[in-house]
Amino acid sequence: CIVKNEPESIQRLISAVDRALTEGRTTVLVVNPNRASRYDLAGLLRRQRYSIVEASTAGEALQFLDAGEAADLIVTETVLDDMTGAVLVAEIRNRQGEDAAPVIGLSDDGDARLAARFLEAGGVDFIRKPFLEAEFNARVAQAIAMNKRLQALRRMAASDYLTNIYNRRHFFLTGPRLVEQCLRRGAGASIAVVDIDHFKRLNDTYGHEIGDIVLKHVARRLKSLVGEEHLLARLGGEEFGILFNALDVRRAYDFCERLRLEMERSKIVADDEELTITISIGLATIEAQEAFDNYLHAADQFLYMAKHAGRNRVVS
Ligand code: GH3
Ligand code: MG
Ligand code: MG
Ligand code: MG
């Protein structure tokens, strides 16, 4: 860095400017053992306005990704000092699953099998050197655009159209893994089914559109209270599921009780009406690995009891 000897305040200013300049920009991770060609490649990509991170080995690249840093694309040599590009791709996919960034392989090696192996491992494209700059740029742009579209579709497939929180599909697809993790760590897990009380009556009185506004309000409120740590989804209609991550039943119960109280107190403004609603919650503890449906069924039974006991309560 050219400003190493500047006072700290200037350093801070410069890194702030740096952040502002690269924020929201597409990041490309360049993996190349050769300093000079890495420099050239980074320059080429910078001219396309990408923000660049450089790694000289596969290990360095994995370290960067393991630290939770996001890359929108990885461009790697297919021959690296510590592993082949094909193995690097496999490693990345192993660790990041569906979130893994697309990887383009680069090689000046004449061995055509390298390309095949790289693509078989899950690389999205392979470019032989020397390449035409325009073709390289187009392939890079295409890989990034395809991935963005894919991620957008994945987000869409996981979210509920009305409330924009996770949908039932996502809840059932990711729930079992979360339960497994909790049980393996010996941490508690529990599942809650949240249901709005007398929602049909609200629809009948104020109309379906107001009903929808109330649903959106409840989802937003639940989301802000539940946060990212636990899994929240709209299971259907006016019913929501919460999978509590590593909360024993006592703390999960307190959490649910807080949700119930917050909802009771929360004023919902829809058109000219000021409405209030209440929710009932069934809470089941998860003690052993079972079919995911069973947990939900247990929570549902507690919900049924909460309704029969007069609603606006938590039963566990
Ligand atoms: P309970 O206290 O026993 O839960 O009574 P409830 O009226 O809330 O329960 P019920 O299951 O009888 O009715 C649920 C209602 O939710 C019926 C349906 O019209 C309404 N509903 C389901 N999905 C939507 C939606 O997307 N928008 C609106 N506005 N209403 C919906
Ligand atoms: Mg019902
Ligand atoms: Mg209801
Ligand atoms: Mg219901």
Total-model pTM:
0.82
Q: What is the pLDDT of residue 1?
A: 46
* Distance set, CA 249 to CA 128, 141, 189, 254 (Å): 58, 49, 8, 9
Cα separation, 196 vs 239, in Å, equals 7
Phi, psi (5° rounding) for residue 192? -120, 140
Residue 165: name the closest of 97, 240, 255 by CA. 240
Ligand closest to CA 200: 1
**Does any ligand 1 atom lie closer than 6 A to the CB of residue 239?**
no
Cα separation, 29 vs 262, in Å, equals 45
Q: Quote the ligand 3 centre to 60 CA distance (angstroms).
A: 53
- Per-position pLDDT tens, the chain of length 316: 445 566 677 767 766 776 666 667 899 999 999 999 999 999 999 999 999 999 999 999 999 999 988 899 999 999 999 999 999 999 999 999 888 999 999 998 677 888 999 999 999 999 999 999 999 999 999 999 999 999 999 999 999 999 999 999 999 999 999 999 999 998 889 999 999 999 999 999 999 999 999 999 999 999 999 999 999 999 999 999 999 999 988 999 999 999 999 999 999 998 888 999 999 999 999 988 899 999 999 999 999 999 999 999 999 9
- Out of 165, 238, 240, 304, give the residue to mutate to test ligand 1, the one with the largest number of ligand atoms within 8 Å of its CB: 238
**Does any ligand 1 atom lie closer than 6 A to the CB of residue 238?**
yes
Q: What is the pLDDT of residue 19?
A: 63
Chain centroid offset of residue 313 CA:
32
Chain centroid offset of residue 133 CA:
34
**Does any ligand 1 atom lie closer than 6 A to the CB of residue 139?**
no
Which atom, in ligand 1's list, is nearest to the CA of 210? 29
Q: Select which of 8, 77, 180, 238 is catalytic.
A: 238
Q: Quote the ligand 1 centre to 3 CA distance (angstroms).
A: 63
Cα separation, 161 vs 155, in Å, equals 11
Which atom, in ligand 1's list, is nearest to the CA of 199? 8
Residue 201: name the closest of 192, 193, 210, 190 by CA. 210
DSSP E strand boundaries for 120-212:
125-128, 166-167, 189-196
Q: What is the pLDDT of residues 156-190, one digit of tens each?
A: 999 999 999 999 999 999 999 999 999 999 888 99
**Does any ligand 1 atom lie closer than 6 A to the CB of residue 11?**
no
Q: Give me 228's structure tokens.
A: 């990212």
* Distance set, CA 105 to CA 94, 102, 133, 134, 304 (Å): 18, 10, 15, 17, 56
Q: Whose CA is nearest to atom 15 of ligand 1?
A: 200
Answer yes or no: are the C-beta atoms of 167 and 160 closer than 8 Å: yes
Answer yes or no: are the C-beta atoms of 241 and 192 closer than 8 Å: yes
**Does any ligand 1 atom lie closer than 6 A to the CB of residue 255?**
no
CB count within 10 Å of CB 150 equals 12
Q: Whose CA is nearest to atom 4 of ligand 1?
A: 197
Helices (H) and strands (E) in the chain, counts: 11, 13
Q: Quote the ligand 1 centre to 249 CA distance (angstroms).
A: 28
| Neighbouring residues of 51: CB distance < 8 A, sequence distance ≥ 6 | 22, 25, 26, 27, 28
290 an active-site residue?
A: no
Q: What is the pLDDT of residues 250-279, one digit of tens each?
A: 999 999 999 999 999 999 998 888 999 999
Helix (H) or strand (E) holding 231: strand 231-236
Q: Whose CA is nearest to atom 14 of ligand 1?
A: 200
